[in-house]
Amino acid sequence: MAPVPVSTPVVLIDVYGDDGIAGFTVSDSGLWSTVAPNEPQTLQELLQSQFSDTGITVANHATGGGSSSLMNEMLGMDGNGAPFADRIKLSSASYAIESHTLNDALGGETINDYRQYLAAWVVAVRAAGKTPVLEESGPVCDGNHPQLAVYVQAMDDAAVQFNVPIVTQYAYVSSLPNWEDHMASCLYPDAYLLQIKAQREVAVITPLIQQVIGE
C-alpha cells in the first residue's frame, strides 16, 4: 500500500489590520460589500496549496472604517474585544500579521505615537509566544492620506529595529502600471491587487512555516 501522507501540524495565522487588508469595498452607488476572496482568504488558499495541507488556516481579524487603527487595536477599541495584549494571549495562532497603517494619522496618532504602538504590538505578540509579522499598506489615491508613506516608513524602521519579518507592499504596488484602476473609490484594492498582495505575504510567511514543520 502507498504510504499515507503525514499532515503538518495545524498552523494558525491571525491577521490584524484595516480596510487595506480586510477585503472591504464600495460600489459606485455607495453600497458596501466584501471582495471574495479577500487577502487573508487568498493567503490561506495559497499556503494550503503550497504545503498540501488544509491544517494551515488564516483568521481575519481586520476591521474597516476610519477608526480602524493600531492605536484602537492596542487599546481594545477596534471592536474585537479586550486590549490587544490581553487578547493575543488567548489566541492559538503561531503567527500574527499586523497591517494597520492607513488610518493611523487620521485618528490623531503622531508618527512617534505610531512608533510606540508598533513597539508595544511586537512586544505583546512575542510575550504571548507567537511570531510577529508586519505588513505595509498598499498605496491609495483618494487624496486624504498624504502622510501614508511616512507611516509605512515607520513600520519599515520598526521591522529593522525589532528584527521582525515584513511584507513590503507600498512601493511594489505603486510601481504596477495603472494600479489606481484597481482601487474602488481610490481606497479599496480589488481582487487583482489582493491576489498580488497575498502572493507577497506567502513569500515571507512560507520560510517561517517551514521552520515549524521542518520542511
What was the pLDDT predicted at 23? Answer: 85
What was the pLDDT predicted at 28? Answer: 74
Q: Is the pTM of this model over 0.85?
A: yes
What was the pLDDT predicted at 9? Answer: 67
Per-position DSSP letters for 4-62, written without gaps between them: PPPPPPPEEEEEEE-HHHH-EEE-TT--EEE-SS-HHHHHHHHHHHHHT-TTEEEEE--
Report DSSP state, residue 90.
Answer: G
CA geometry: angle at 121 spanning 117 and 127, to 5°?
140
Domains defined along the chain, listed by start: 11-213 (3.40.50.1110)
CA distances from 206 to 80, 144, 214 (A): 27, 34, 12
Tell me the pLDDT of the chain (215 aa) as tens digits.
Answer: 444 444 666 899 999 999 889 888 877 777 777 888 999 999 999 999 999 889 999 999 999 888 899 999 999 998 888 999 999 999 999 999 999 999 998 878 899 999 999 999 999 999 999 999 999 999 999 988 999 999 999 999 999 999 999 999 999 999 999 999 999 989 999 999 999 999 999 999 999 999 877 65
What was the pLDDT predicted at 26? Answer: 79
Of the candidates 82, 80, 127, 86, the one whose C-alpha atom is nearest the C-alpha of residue 100 is: 80
Of the candidates 168, 147, 146, the one whose C-alpha atom is nearest the C-alpha of residue 157 is: 168
What was the pLDDT predicted at 7? Answer: 61
